[in-house]
């Protein structure tokens, strides 16, 4: 499977027994990322059997403690356990300063290179790309600078429709051109790649959006994502709290999912004032049917 998501922490603000603060582990096309790193994340990684030395980069949404306080412990443990592979950390302005300052004052010399990528964008922006995936930062609307992330599998080359090889008498050179999406130009004929190739399957994609007020632009940015995690800190009965604290309700998240026409919605970042998550689902489902309230340890595949 190209994408596997493990929920390491699904709560907000303070970790409680049974629900850690925000962190997720994502394996997309064998690229391994940690998304947010609340306090206690390294124990959650152990608990849910994720090999954390294989993480190549950490993406931090914002500098509220429930999203990044676990970094110091995790990075320290990686070093104590002898990591040599470089680790990248993507996050907003200030994250590098905080982390480096901590290690400097404690006179910690890491066993590996720590590379920071500071995010700063006002629109959807490509921040990582390799041969098989792309990652975009999505500027969210919270009380402080905050980013969501969109992970997308890159499409392989197009597949030739075998019946068309005969029909158009395609040469090997022309087949390769069509596979690359190029137009075939003959002396008296133009053949578009889509005339001789099969329609592309939807690429595997995952959008992660926390913490944020509902954003009008978001559905366009994440259109058709196969999986969306959107925060639902509150339900509508606490809509005033949601507005005042820069968060969303279950109904807000479901509306975004519907407008973005995603395949599946995951809700999380629940306020500890709610004992059960049923009421989030009851509120979201009439708006967007394929919705799940996540628990720590849940695993989702695309």
Task: Print the SS3 string covering the chain.
Answer: CCEEEEEEECECCCCECCECECEEEEEECCEEEEEEECCCHHHHHHHCCCCHHHCCEEECCCCCHHHHCCHHHHHHHHHHCCCCCCEEEEEECCHHHHHHHHHHHCCCCCCCCEEEEEECCCCCEEEEECCCEEEEEEECCCCCCCEEEEEEECCCCCCECHHHHHHHCCCHHHHHHHHCCCCEECCCCEECHHHHECCCCCCCEEEEECCCCCCCCHHHHCCCCCEEEEECCECHHHHHHHHHHCCCEHHHHHHHHHHHCCCCEEEECECCCCCCCHHHHHHHCCCCCCEEECCCCCEEEC
Q: Does 39 bind Zn ion (CB under 5 A)?
A: no
From the list 39, 153, 174, 211, which residue makes contact with Zn ion (rule: CB under 5 A)?
A: 211
Q: Does 64 bind Zn ion (CB under 5 A)?
A: yes
Q: Does 24 bind Zn ion (CB under 5 A)?
A: no
Q: Does 27 bind Zn ion (CB under 5 A)?
A: no
Active-site residue identified among 66, 211, 252, 296: 66
Active site residue 66: yes
Minimum gap (Å) between residue 186 Cβ and Zn ion:
58
Residues 104-163 that bind Zn ion (CB under 5 A): none
From the list 12, 41, 177, 277, which residue makes contact with Zn ion (rule: CB under 5 A)?
A: 12
Considering the complex, state which of residue 27 and residue 248 has its C-beta at the smaller distance from Zn ion: 248
Minimum gap (Å) between residue 146 Cβ and Zn ion:
7
Return the range that interacts with Zn ion (CB under 5 A); candidates 31-39, 45-53, 65-73, 193-201: 65-73
- Active-site residues, by number, are 66
Residues that bind Zn ion (CB under 5 A): 12, 64, 66, 211
């Amino acid at each position: 499977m190209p994408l596997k998501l493990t929920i390491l922490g699904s709560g907000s603000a303070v970790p409680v027994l049974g629900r850690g603060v925000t962190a997720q582990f994502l394996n997309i096309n064998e690229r391994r990322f940690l998304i947010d790193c609340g306090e206690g994340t390294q124990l959650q990684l152990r608990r849910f059997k994720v090999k954390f030395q294989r993480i190549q980069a950490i993406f931090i949404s914002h500098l509220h403690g429930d999203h990044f306080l676990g970094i110091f412990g995790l990075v320290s443990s990686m070093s104590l356990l002898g990591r040599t592979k470089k680790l990248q950390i993507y996050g907003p302005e200030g994250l590098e300063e905080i982390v480096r300052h901590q290690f400097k004052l404690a006179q910690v010399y890491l066993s590996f290179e720590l590379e920071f990528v500071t995010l700063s964008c006002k629109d959807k922006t490509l921040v990582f790309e390799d041969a098989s995936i792309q990652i975009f930062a999505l500027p969210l609307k919270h009380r402080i600078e905050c980013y969501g992330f969109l992970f997308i599998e890159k499409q392989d080359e197009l597949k030739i429709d075998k019946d068309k090889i005969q029909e158009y008498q395609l040469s090997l050179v022309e087949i390769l051109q069509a596979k690359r999406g190029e137009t075939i130009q003959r002396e008296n004929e133009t053949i578009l790649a889509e005339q001789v190739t099969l329609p592309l399957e939807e690429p595997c994609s995952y959008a992660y959006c926390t913490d944020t007020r509902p954003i009008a632009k978001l559905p366009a940015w994440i259109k058709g994502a196969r999986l969306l995690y959107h925060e639902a800190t509150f339900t509508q009965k606490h809509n005033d709290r949601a507005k005042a604290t820069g968060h969303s309700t279950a109904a807000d998240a479901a509306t975004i999912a519907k407008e973005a026409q995603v395949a599946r919605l995951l809700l999380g970042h629940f306020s500890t004032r709610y004992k059960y998550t049923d009421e989030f689902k009851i509120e979201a489902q009439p708006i967007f049917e394929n919705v799940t309230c996540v628990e720590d340890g849940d695993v989702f595949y695309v």
